Structure 1
């Protein structure tokens, strides 16, 4: 994915700026901090600037579930201002976890996600930045603390999600990976995170992947390694203590 930077006539010593857009997983900041620390230690000559800009509860679809405390924020309410202020060379966006609003799959909600992602990509490109999209991370039902709802439940929310919500995210990720949304690159977070969860659970059946929605620190390490490899072409086997 480094060609996204090279195609814009940018080198590592030229100081490319990468803006990270997303929901609470991005707002947490851990995977961005891990990337920054790894680069500082292993590529000190590089002048890549990482600009975190995640907002908790945010969506790209503009949807919100009834039980959410107030309407969820939409990235489109702030996108123009973020792009103008940051003036990034590349924007990396990760949406989807909140966009199905924890309900079973529906064409209407999926259509809202697709329209939102297409508008996001178009606006980033119109601002002169490269577009890199990340698939939504998986939803891990076994790590949830709250109740899980069957498909015929009366309602759903982040507090009481659909038990097979990960199937919804799988479809959202599949659409991105199939090229459904124009972008300079799509990074698959879902596959390495699912592999991580399966591996950890094979060693410890009670392993909890954060709260099922938000990754734990090892999950953020997987995201950081994936971005270092796919976006910056760096192999980072270990990130502990980076």
Structure 2
């Protein structure tokens, strides 16, 4: 099954999940000895020095009684939409080409999801694009449901062009990560954020907004790269997730 066939096929899962949607009033409590698989793109991978590892350190220090273990499954450039912009060096990795193997070979009790910034391939919004992202999120949740794994959904991080502006943005060449659509943050990522925060699915235990705090503090959370947060930004992500999980 190719990427587009998979997306079309899993549209059925989207409909089915709506029919069994749960309430917004979600109560979630971490359990001792949980293994938490963290899925995302390069922001999650972060060379093994990002928010995932900071979360591990924070829980080890402040909640050692829980004995949690965080596994980093982040992969650079990855999407849940199966899309790639013209100027990207080769097809972007697609989560659903590796997810089954990860779930089959790792004992995971809970999955942390952080996608979106690459998923719109830095171009203009469209109904097709928004639907592709929504189906990608639902498809991830459906895969987890088959394995009886719960999920925590993080909103996409922002595109911080105010803190780290890119020179020479142009409408005359194809949009991509080097030349993003100037309103990608407001017209695409904000929509992706809304999709995540309003998600209704029985395995989605909690939705956490990391987009807003990163955007509000972008001047200190980003350096010259508007896509990848700096260590301060990663720590803000870890602290935000920690607070949401230990309220």
Q: What TM-score do you get using the length of structure 2 for normalisation?
A: 0.81
**Aligned-residue offset at 1:77:** 0.3
Among 130, 136, 145, the residue aligned to 1:116: 136
Structure 1 partner of 2:245 = 231
Match of 2:175 in 1: 156
Name the SS of the counterpart of 1:54 in structure 2. coil
Instruction: State the distance in 2 between where 1:76 and 1:214 align.
Output: 23
Name the residue aligned to 1:125. 145
Match of 1:196 in 2: 217
Provide the rounded CA distance (Å) in 1 between the counterparts of 2:168 and 2:28: 42
* Cα drift, residue 185 of structure 1: 1.4
Q: What are the ranges of 5 or more consecutive residues in structure 2 without an aligned counterpart?
A: 1-24
Q: 1:186 aligns with which of 175, 193, 207?
A: 207
1:65 pairs with 2:65:
no
Query: Structure 2 CA distance, aligned partners of 1:79 and 1:146?
Result: 37
Equivalent pair of 1:140/1:209 in contact (CA under 8 Å): no
Aligned partners of 1:97 and 1:136 also within 8 Å:
yes
Match 2:58 to one of 38, 43, 46: 38
1:70-109 counterparts in 2 under 5 A?
A: 70-109=90-129
Determine helix, strand or coil for the equivalent of 2:217.
helix
Which stretches in structure 1 are left out of the alignment for 5+ residues?
201-206, 234-242
| Alpha-carbon offset, residue 5 of structure 1 | 4.7
Deviation at 1:78, TM superposition (A): 0.6
Q: Over aligned residues, Cα RMSD in angstroms?
A: 2.1
2:192 counterpart SS class: helix
Query: Which residue does the alignment assign to 2:43?
Result: 25
CA contact (8 A) 2:114 2:156 kept: yes
Residue-by-residue CA offset, 1:87-142 (whole Å, 9 max, x unaligned)? 21110111110011000111111111111111111101211100111100110113
Point out 4+ residue stretches in structure 1 off by more than 4 angstroms: 207-210
What TM-score comes out, normalization by structure 1 length? 0.83
- Hey, what's the Cα distance between the residues in 2 that align with 1:115 and 1:139? 22
CA distance in structure 2 between the aligned counterparts of 1:158 and 1:65, rounded to whole angstroms: 8
Single out whichever of 171-180 and 56-65 deviates more from structure 2: 171-180
Report the count of equivalent residues.
218
